[in-house]
Amino acid sequence: MSDVTETMPGPAGPQGATGGWNAVVGYLGGIRDVVVLEMKQRLRSRGWYIMVGIWFFVVAMVTWLTWLAWNASMEARRSTIPPSALAPQDGAGSMIFEVVLAFVLLFALLVAPALSANAINGDRAGGTLAILQITLLTPGQILWGKFCAGWLAALAFLATSAPFLVFGMFQGGLTPGHVVVSLLMLAVELAVVCGIGVGISALAGRPLFSIVVTYLVVAALVVGSLISFALGAQLAQGTVLANTPVGRPLSYVPVQPDQQGQPTEAVQPGYTCEGPLVEHSAVRTDRVAWMLALNPYVVVADAIPYPDRSGSAFYSVGMIEGISQGARSALAGPDHTFTCANGVQQPQYLKQSTPLWPLGLGLQVLLTGLLMWLGWRSLRTPASRLANGTRIA
């Protein structure tokens, strides 16, 4: 008579730190599978390559036209200003860089919703979402996979634009830090928009509706933030203590003291604060600056490192740096921008000691996280309730 050995079933999975790591690897593997599936579907289409080619051509045309405009403006300046009076930083690099950056951000905000706003309900309308849901993939893996695929598709357009930003750097007036920070912030903004699109796609029942809503949210961030800030500033009236500015002769110092024959520039400020402190009416922009921080242009512009111009009375800034200065002035409020506020000479140029972009990026990530969480809830199965006409398979 043979002996029968009874084997007891072991644990369902590995325990301890190894089991936790295996669970993370398995979760990431599911996300990778969804990303690979999505990217294969996107790259299989010929229209994808046509869109990237058109994008490259348009950005190249913008760069070329900016280069021609700069050459024309410099020819006009050379006819009226001696060459020795031209500052060394008067190169084409800054102008090309800022125009291309503003253009790329604008079109990225237009392209990213189209790449992500129908990621989930498009599959639901096609009857393929249920196939993913009956697999071992969790709702989180499906959601993150769709997000990463849309973000990678958007990053392809950004990578196509990167050579033109590098070209602007080589034209002078810029450092590699400008390009690196700009590309990093553009990638982050693309991630925010793609997250918004995927979250709305999971919540909405129709692809067209989710695309329209995503574009409306992006428009609210770009244009609505400006309108909200302007209206909120009218309601944020306050006062500031200041005395009277009295003009004084400007003192001039060489732009480059170590060399002879260099042009000179004035040292700010060209006034003194005298007299008693008097209460003045002022707009308390510091109370509503957080609305302005939601704007993607403000986030990108404020994160770029700029040279310190606080010691000069006369200086010129580009469009992107001007956006950063305007946002910092709003954040500082009248206590630091009103002339002779609190009896102190206020600088015309605000240093980057108190950046506004972390606040704006934090609010954008909070909005994206909320929509992604709501989208995750809508993907859980079994679904307790579905809208009328929703296709299952």
For 192-215, the pLDDT digits (tens) are 999 999 999 988 878 888 899 999
> What are the residues facing 254 on neighbouring strands?
264
pTM score of the predicted model: 0.80
For residues 62 and 74, the model is more confident at: 62
Instruction: Give the number of other CB atoms < 10 A from CB of residue 362.
Output: 13
In which band, very low, low, confident or very high, does the pLDDT at 224 lie, cut at 50, 70 and 90? very high
The answer to whether residue 267 scores a pLDDT higher than 70 is no
Q: What is the pLDDT of residue 107?
A: 86
The answer to whether residue 271 scores a pLDDT higher than 70 is no
The answer to whether residue 345 scores a pLDDT higher than 90 is no
DSSP conformation class of 79? T
Helices then strands, counting H and E runs in the chain, come out as: 14, 4
| Residue found by looking up tokens 């289409």 in the block | 45
How far lies 304's CA from each of 43, 174, 352, in Å? 33, 11, 10
Mean pLDDT of all residues in 48-72: 87
Q: What is the pLDDT of residue 389?
A: 57
CB of 365 closer than 8 Å to CB of 296? no
State pLDDT tens for residues 114-156: 888 888 888 787 777 778 878 888 888 889 999 999 999 999 9
The answer to whether residue 288 scores a pLDDT higher than 90 is no
Q: What is the pLDDT of residue 318?
A: 74
The answer to whether residue 92 scores a pLDDT higher than 80 is no
The answer to whether residue 234 scores a pLDDT higher than 90 is no
Instruction: Give the number of other CB atoms < 10 A from CB of residue 188.
Output: 17
Q: What is the largest CA-CA distance in the chain?
A: 116
> What are the residues facing 64 on neighbouring strands?
none
> Which span out of 15-19, 89-93, 164-168, 352-356 was modeled with the highest average pLDDT?
164-168
In which band, very low, low, confident or very high, does the pLDDT at 386 lie, cut at 50, 70 and 90? low
